[in-house]
Every structure is written in C-alpha cells, then in structure tokens.
Structure 1
Amino acid sequence: MTARRYEGYDLIGDVHGCGLSLRMLLARLGYSKKDGVYCHPKRQVIFIGDIVDRGPHIREALYIVKDMVDAGHAQIVMGNHEYNLLCYCTPKPDGSGTFLREHNPRHRRILQESLQQLDPYPADKADFMAWIKAMPLFLEMETFRVIHACWHQELIDEFKGMMGGNQIDDAFLYRSAEPDTFEWVLMDRLLRGTHLKLPNGEVMVSRDGFKRRYFRTKFWANNPQRYSDVVFQPDPLPEHVARMPLTDRNRQDLYHYASTEKPLFIGHYWCEGDPLPLTNNIACIDYSAVKYGKLVAYRYDYEKTLSADKFVWVDVRTEVLTKTK
C-alpha cells in the first residue's frame, strides 16, 4: 500500500467572503503563513466551494484560498456560487452581447457583493474567473469523497466518460446554460443538490427574501414517507406541506447515498446549531458563516465513521464582536 502523503485533511465549509474568520479558522487548525501562504507541515485543506458572494472580504478570501491551492497546500471543488458568478461574467458565444447567466435584478442581487468587490480590479477578476472555470467539480480520494452539494454516481460516471476527469471546458460551460441538457442537469445536481417542487403551485419566501417554488432535500433519507422526512434547509416547510405524503413522482426525483459508501463531505445547505455528521458517512460543513453562524472545518484522519468531535469552528458573531470592541 502506498504511503499517505498527508496525516489528514481539513475540510472547510462555505466561506462566502468571511476572510477574517477564515484566517482565524486556519490558525485554529494549526496553519501558519510561510512565504505569504497558509500551510501545515503534515495536513492539507480541502475547500468545499462557495468562497464568493455575500461576505465583506470576498477578494481577500479568494486570494487566501487560491494561493493555498496554487502552492499545493489546499484543494478545492466548485460551489454553485462560483458557477453562478462564472456564468454571469461569461458572454454567450453567439455574439449577442448577452451572458450565460441573465443580468436580471435577482441574479444581480445574489452576486452584488462579489461584483462590487471584484469589478474595481479587472485583472484580478479575470484571473479569478479563469481559476474558477478550472476548478474540479468533485474529488474522489482513496477513502473519501468531496462535492459541493450532492454526490450522484451515475451522473459523475457519465461526466467522467465525457470529459475524462473532474473539470469542465468552455464547450461544457456553454451547454450547461441551456436548460434540460445533460450539462445543465449535472451542474444543477452536483452543485445545488436534490430538490422537490412545492405542491399545488405554492411559493415560499425564504429568510433572505427570495420567493422559492422548490425546497432542498436530503439525498440520504432512508425510506422517507412525507415531505418532512426529506426537507433539508433552514427555512421550514409550511406545516400543511410538511405533513403531505411523498408521491411516486417525488420518489423518482430523490436520490439515495447509501450508508455503505465512502465518507462524503458536502457544503451548501446552511446548517445551524452544533456541527454533527448527518449520517455515519456524510458530513455537511456549511454552518451559515456569513449569517453570523460558524465557519466550520472537519479534521479528517481516514476514519470510516464520521464523528462529532472532529469538527472545529470559529463562531463568526463572537469573533467579529471581539475583534471590533
């Protein structure tokens, strides 16, 4: 058996521009700067994506992460917010002057902090866009897997057969902006996860003020019966919807990651409270940092069963208030 290069990996959840908290978390994990780049003598970071959007220090966070990746001290997978930003900034190849992601008020609102912080630095922005496009969509290691939102084996296998690896190219990116293509379906599932449409044309208004007709779902629920058994998001379903039984069509739209699969690390889902594994082999490490939650890491040391005592975090509200006193 080949020797392991690292004693372990530190998987860090959605940063969303919380650059100060990222520095604090890296220090707490034992990383320090060498030649201007955070590193550890025996461990490597894996970022789960969503470095951009919403937070106050997006450009700083991007530099911290990119410098670590470029120097070999970290790896990263693409998040849906990186993908959204890339599509928003990429012109359609038809010469129409429009972009892969429509420049409408809703999209602008989601991306506004990233655009405001990157637009004054066009050279940096161009470098970051090229770097984002080259990000892997997933990582499969000997003993564990990493993806932003959902590991869907059949889609991943088809993607690897098409692309020969875990990265997209220009042609794939362009096709991914066309609804219902394989490329669109794959990016939606891997970077946004599974979801169900609210019944009877209902609409929810989320805490951040967006109207939503779909809700995020678990892809690890075992024999779910009702909507309440599969919902996985901070915003609760209306009570009458939560009690409704799942239909056969609902079940077809769900996906199941078995308990016998490799440990899987995901972000994306805005968890709250004290970090805990979702199952014995799935950990979500997004704990709503930019909403004054926690910026969380999981210290993985090749264990087969994930454990609550392996989480390390910075309490963003406490740390920010302490720093500003």
Structure 2
Amino acid sequence: MVAKTSVAHRGYDIIGDIHGCAHTLERLLDQMGYRKVAGVYQHPRRQAIFIGDIIDRGPRIREALHLVRDMVEHGSARIVMGNHEYNALGYCTRARPGSGKTFLREHNARHDRLIRETLEQFEPYPHEWNEFLEWFYTIPLFIEDEDFRVVHACWDQDLIDKFRDIRPDGCIDDDFMHASAAIESFAGQVMDTLLRGTDLRLPEGMSITGRDGYVREFFRTKFWADNPRTYADVVFQPDPLPPEVARMELSEQERAQLIIYPSDAPPVFVGHYWMEGRPAPRKHNVACIDYSAVKYGKLVAYRMDGEKVLSPDKFVWIDVERPEQPTSPGSEDSLAR
C-alpha cells in the first residue's frame, strides 16, 4: 500500500498548488513554524505534503522545485504528482517510432504557452531540468495514510486499486508514461482522472470559453456530490455554466458516470481547481487547497492532526503579493503573463 505510514504524534501540513511562487511558499512555511536546517526547511513535529503542480506559470519555478525536492529527499515533506509535472514529462519525452507523434504531448500553441515559463527559467540549467524530469518519475500519484488521503484532482478508488496492483509504489514508469498518451487506455484514464479530475459533456452543440480563452465542450465535476440532480449540483470549476444549462437535470447515464466519495471514507485533500474566497472544506471529509496562488490568490495549507471531520479553522494561508517581492533590483522576478 502506497505511503501508508504513520509517525506517533506527528502532524501534517498539506500545501496547495505552488506554480513557481517560491517566496510565498517560504513565507507560508515560516508561518507554520518550519525553519531551515542545513539549508532545508524542517519542522520538529510536522511534515509537509505537497499536492503537486510545483511548476509552470510562476516567477520562481526553479527555486520552488529545489526547495520542495530538498524537503522530500530529507524526509521533511512528501509530494504527489500534479498534472503539470505529468504534462512536462509528456512534453519532453519523445514518442516511440510508429506512434505518429514526435512527442507524447503535442507541441502546439496552448501546450507551448503552459510550459513556457518553466523552460525559460531552466534554459541556463539544462542538466538540472533533466534531473528534475527524472525526479518526477519518483513522485507517487497519491498518498494513503492512516488518517487521510492526498491526490492532485480526484480520488477514484477503483482506478487507484487497479493501479496499485501493477505499481505498488504508486509511481509511473517510462512504459506507463508512453501508454498514457492514449487517453482511452487504462494508463490514460488513471492519469486523466487522478490528475485532472472528472467531467461531463455539455449538451450537443454547446461549448464554454474559459477565462484562459480555451473552448471546452466538457465541464469539470465534483467527485463528492451527494444525491446530485442537476448540472449545478456537480459542476466544479471557476467558469460558471450558463444558467439554462446549470438547471438541466442529469440523465441516469450521466449520474452513472459520476464518482461518489463515501461520507465514511477518510478525509481526502485535492488541489488543481483554482478556488477563490476564504478557504473551507468542500464537505466534512473533502478539502480543496488550491486557491489560485499564481493568480494573486492564496497559497493555502491544511494542518492535519488526525481529525475525521475537517474544520475551516485548520486552514492557514498567505495572500500572494502582486507580484512576489523581488530578491534584488533588476532580478528576473516579475510574473510572466
């Protein structure tokens, strides 16, 4: 069983999507009582758990990766893979001959834009970037501890059980990575569901243009909705559905596609969803801790101490400054648009 470990009286600080906001991460760790020991952030009684998406979009991606990897390698943190780490592997991995592709993740305008800041910041350090790509393969897709679970976007028990049967360490390898390029494959479904979440197709002929300008024919859905009846009961994304669509009733076929997280299951933590407002649980045993740090929102952590019912009082956060304060005049610290 993956990462099913427990340390007596140890607490855990589960930290949301960082996306290169390294200075804000340092401030959050300081606020929670972590201190640098031999250059690595540590806490005498607690361990940090990163929800993934350390890279892309932000001003200090390289610094954030070094900070997080150092903590993980010294045992003061754990981490699960985010869709951006997975995307980077696909973008930088050549497809096998005969596949009809050059890279596993197509180099198109949208994908180029999403990874641009990461590649630009590592351009003077190509060997470091290659080492981080190798390190991404050591990051598990999920953590299941005695009292809680952590996954980047969606806890699908059936997929996780089947994946754990073939990958007991919870990590992917090169073969699984190549297999996942086919979205309809088992590997593709594991990576898409656990790292990006679930969705439903919009009614025929309808699409939504998101804030990022991307046109979608699907909308993201909750995996914890109780007795959902309408689209509004299951939608979970920053971009709202048109009111007439939100009121539509789910068909039996659509209801059957939904994943329902049991109310008696251990608390589960996800990131990924660009939340806004004051951090709070989505349900007594479900919390999203991604509050849009790189969009000048909040970098959020939940301080987990074994409780079965999550509390809004256990969230802590740092409001991201606009932009993060530069380390020195003239340094390359402005947030790339």
Correspondence 1:59 to 2:62: yes
1:118 alignment partner in structure 2: 122
Aligned to 2:48: 45
**Superposed counterparts of 1:11-22, under 5 Å:** 11-22=14-25
Cα distance in structure 2, aligned partners of 1:103 and 1:318:
30
State the superposition RMSD in angstroms.
1.9
Distance 1:99 1:50 in 2: 21
Aligned equivalents of 1:193 and 1:97: distance in 2?
A: 25
Aligned AA for 1:126?
N
- Provide structure 1 residue ranges, at least 5 long, that are not aligned to the other structure: none
What SS does the corresponding residue of 2:275 show, helix, strand or coil? coil
Report Cα offsets for 1:172-207 as digits up to 9, x if no partner. 111001120000011101001111111113121111
Shift of 1:248: 1.9
Instruction: Kindly state the Cα deviation for residue 109 of structure 1 after the two structures are TM-superposed.
Output: 1.2
| Preserved contact between residue 21 and residue 319 of structure 1 (Cα < 8 Å) | no
Residue 286 to residue 236, structure 1, CA distance change in 2 (3 Å):
same
How far apart, CA to CA, are the structure 1 residues paired with 2:264 and 2:7?
23
The residue aligned with 2:294 is 290
C-alpha distance after superposition, 1:133-182 (max 9, x if no partner): 22100000111111001111111111111122311111111100112000
User: SS of the residue aligned with 1:117?
Assistant: helix
**Structure 2 stretches lacking a partner, 5+ long:** 329-337
Distance change >3 Å, CA 68–CA 226, structure 1 → 2: same
**Aligned residue among 297, 305, 312 for 1:308:** 312
Larger mean Cα displacement after TM superposition, 216-225 or 195-204: 195-204
Determine the structure 1 residue equivalent to 2:335. Answer: none
CA distance in 1, matches of 2:106, 2:256: 30
Distance 1:201 1:218 in 2: 23
The answer to whether the 8 A contact 1:263-1:304 is kept is: yes
Aligned partner of 1:83 in structure 2 is 86
Counterpart of 2:237, as a letter, is Q
| The one of 236, 240, 246 aligned to 1:242 | 246
Q: What letter is aligned with 1:149?
A: A
Paired residue secondary structure (1:298): strand
TM-score by length of 1: 0.95
Closer, same or farther in 2 for the Cα pair 1:217/1:27, shift >3 Å? Answer: same
Partner of 1:135: 139
Q: Could you tell me which amino acid in structure 1 is paired with residue 103 of structure 2?
A: F
Q: Paired residue for 2:259? A: 255
Secondary structure at 1:201 match in 2: coil
Which whole-Å CA distance do the structure 1 matches of 2:223 and 2:217 have between them? 19
8 Å contact from structure 2 (residues 21, 324) kept in 1:
no
The structural deviation recorded for 1:118 is: 1.8
Distance 1:252 1:27, change over 3 A: same
Going by fraction, where is helix more abundant, 1 or 2?
1
Partner of 1:274: 278
**Which residue, out of 206, 209, 216, partners 1:205?**
209
Aligned pairs, how many?
Answer: 324
Identity of aligned residues (%): 57
